[in-house]
Amino acid sequence: MSVVSEPIHMQTENSSQSLHLLVAMPALNEAATIANVIASIPADIEGFSKIDVLVIDDGCTDDTAKIAIAAGAAVVHHPESRGVGAAFHSALAYAIETHVDVLVTIDSDGQFDPNDIPKITAPIIANEADFVTASRFKDPALIPVMPEIKKWGNHQMSRLISRLTGQSFHDVSCGMRCYGRRAMANLNPQGAFTYTQEVFLNLAFKHMRIAEIPIPVRGVREVGKSRVASSLWQYGINTLRIIFRVYRDFRPMQFFGGMALLLTVPGLLLGGFLAIHYLRTGMFSPYKWTGFTAGTLFALSLILLHMGMIGDMLNRHRIYLEELLYFQRNSKSPDRNSTADDR
């Protein structure tokens, strides 16, 4: 990636803290809306002395990048479209490298109102959360008009993430979010297709404080079609693949142990059936197949359990490496006052 322009800094006068905010916007052919979204970002947000705007040009073939530069944003170019997840990776790397205190992500298609940014930055400024997400479904009065199948899909995805994390979330797919420095330094997402659910799992498993703020959102794009959810089946499959990998990496014993248990139970039932039959008749026939099947299931469950133990050891190494990454990222930050360091 390469930065082709420097942002126009929005210096605020009413801030009591010298915090730096970066508003990042992934974009793929959003020339029709990008200028208006950038212009709508408040120039003065409580708690910040500097506000920058970053547009991630994810392989645009129109004038999105030129329009964004003219509007005062910095632009990071991807030579080809790599996905929303990859765009977030670039935004996160840029935020860490430029030592910003708070990162906000919004879509560049105008679905979110930039004037709502202070609502999601407030919990970070007050040190009440490490990660804040706008929520389209937490407040029933603010649920946007959108296809019922998308509402159902969002609800099911939120139920899945809530179950995996042991917390309660209403909207895990919204793109308007806010990250404090602690959350940014702890994040190391891998998904290129999308990142929204992965971030929830990653930060929840690391015991970050997560908050949902109800925000009114336009349910249907004003221009064009969604690049992520244009095909619900593809979106669901790709998202589940990312969730599968994250849960496997962070909770290997539960992941592989659960599958081992699923194989052990029918193995016990089949083995018990064969044992009872043998005690009654003194013969294994005609149910020898149950013995072979039970043995195979037990063997597979032991293999899965062994994989879980190996995964648990690898997970410990990952934790150590991510702790080193966390301290390495923080060591690159310039000296700041203690209030900013707490974010």
pLDDT tens readout for residues 281-303: 989 999 999 999 999 999 999 99
Final residue before a domain boundary, out of 196, 216, 250: 250
Q: Which residues of the chain have pLDDT under 50?
A: 1-3, 8-16, 337-342
Rounded distance between C-alpha atoms, residue 66 and residue 77, angstroms:
11
Q: Are residues 304 and 318 in the same domain?
A: yes
Q: Are residues 270 and 158 in the same domain?
A: no
Q: Are residues 113 and 150 in the same domain?
A: yes
Rounded distance between C-alpha atoms, residue 116 and residue 105, angstroms:
12
Final residue before a domain boundary, out of 228, 250, 272: 250
Q: Are residues 29 and 7 in the same domain?
A: yes
Q: Are residues 129 and 168 in the same domain?
A: yes
Query: Is 175 domain-assigned?
Result: yes
Q: Express as a percent the part of the chain with pLDDT over 90.
A: 63
- 106, 87, 86, 90: which is closest to 98 by C-alpha? 90
Length of the chain: 343
Q: Are residues 213 and 95 in the same domain?
A: yes
Rounded distance between C-alpha atoms, residue 170 and residue 217, angstroms:
14
CATH number, domain containing residue 206? 3.90.550.10
pLDDT at res. 333:
58
Q: Number of structural domains, the chain?
A: 2
Rounded distance between C-alpha atoms, residue 333 and residue 341, angstroms:
10
Q: Which domain holds residue 160?
A: 2-250
Q: Are residues 220 and 274 in the same domain?
A: no
Alpha helices in the chain (DSSP H): 34-40, 64-70, 84-97, 117-125, 148-165, 181-186, 196-205, 232-250, 252-281, 288-331, 338-341
pLDDT at res. 338:
40
Query: Is 338 domain-assigned?
Result: no
Rounded distance between C-alpha atoms, residue 39 and residue 337, angstroms:
31
Q: Are residues 257 and 245 in the same domain?
A: no
Query: Is 153 domain-assigned?
Result: yes
Tally of CA atoms within 13 A in the half-sphere of 150 that contains its CB: 16
- Kindly report the number of other CB atoms within 10 A of residue 271's CB atom: 17
Q: Are residues 226 and 277 in the same domain?
A: no
Q: Are residues 163 and 197 in the same domain?
A: yes
pLDDT at res. 339:
40
Rounded distance between C-alpha atoms, residue 21 and residue 32, angstroms:
25
Final residue before a domain boundary, out of 250, 267, 290: 250
Q: Are residues 101 and 215 in the same domain?
A: yes
Q: Are residues 181 and 288 in the same domain?
A: no
